[in-house]
Structure 1
């Protein structure tokens, strides 16, 4: 019997605590509306939020019901001063310290409580390198519709990235690209071999 695929994090609404911190939402008594947008920048979903004394409160509608969910927020010190924020998963018997919460079945929990996989865990091995390469291009802001990334983009560092971080990301992309090209060539050669055998039979 074929095993059913799990839901993936890529297909869920997600709140990243890093995004909240960068938007200065984690100051006391901060409130507003958090929105999710599609690829055309159109709003697809929204939730009202409020943060006060380490409690992040979400108010949203699900299945025609108004819901309220309280999620505790904690901090840990960073090596170079300041601190890092974390959600504490409100799932039953969980309490994991996490950076992202996902919306499934009417509540925001960690991916473990929702039993979510990453898309890459479900795709065929032949597509893993290609998927990793494309994800790295998205992070770097590079086009997906080109077989080869223009060289100029590999040397022009974005303003929001440290040079060392940018160089490491480019090297990782290039390695994924080499793996993808090798897989493509191996599949092509295997196809040619099968075609030759078919002609000989």
Structure 2
């Protein structure tokens, strides 16, 4: 055997991190699952239905992952292997925990592992963040909506603005956010028009 990840197909360039189940070491820490001897089953669900599960057991300096997986509708195969941990000091004291990616030849220090045949870092799976797959107009709309949330305005650039300054916000901050929102909305609307023109064959 060539080790964890040997013989696997890693070139998934079109996928994003949202397409994969994930384990976040920060969540494990908050849940007390990094304490030695703790064992717990973790499940993922979608639409109220369980879509996957894994058993995590903590040992000194590592976690043991135990689960089943199948490749492209094949037979279910058991997987059980260690993921080693590392720590770095925090500026205000204490330490920050990290996974060491278990894929063969990697060993990157990461906070999140993504589950395919094995759990590995996003670099090994060549995963992009969803925002990296967005078109410029979609990205502008998302950023404008984030400003609308901060302002307490109704969601969606088609709702228009300005819906008023939030209580307690300085006028200078409010005016700056309004200018930024309007510029992003204009960019998003141009993207929408370009998309509609392409669909209608006029572009």
Alpha-carbon distance between aligned partners in 2 of 1:91 and 1:151, rounded to the nearest angstrom: 50
* Partner of residue 120, structure 1: 131
Contact 2:136 2:191 in 1 (8 A): no
- 2:45 equivalent to 1:37: yes
Extract unaligned runs of 5+ from structure 1. 157-169, 192-197
* Partner of residue 89, structure 1: 101
* Partner of residue 182, structure 1: 186
Count residues in correspondence: 172
What are the superposed Cα offsets for residues 78-117 of structure 1, whole Å, 9 maximum, x if unpaired? 111111100001112111100000012x110001111111
* Partner of residue 53, structure 1: 60
**TM-score w.r.t. length of structure 2:** 0.68
Alpha-carbon distance between aligned partners in 2 of 1:52 and 1:175, rounded to the nearest angstrom: 53
Change over 3 Å in CA distance of 1:41–1:150 after alignment to 2: farther
> Which has the higher relative contact order, 1 or 2, with Cα contacts under 8 A spaced 6 or more apart?
2
* Partner of residue 10, structure 1: 18
Contact 1:102 1:111 in 2 (8 A): yes
Extract unaligned runs of 5+ from structure 2. 1-11, 71-75, 169-173, 196-201
Give the aligned CA root-mean-square deviation in angstroms. 3.9
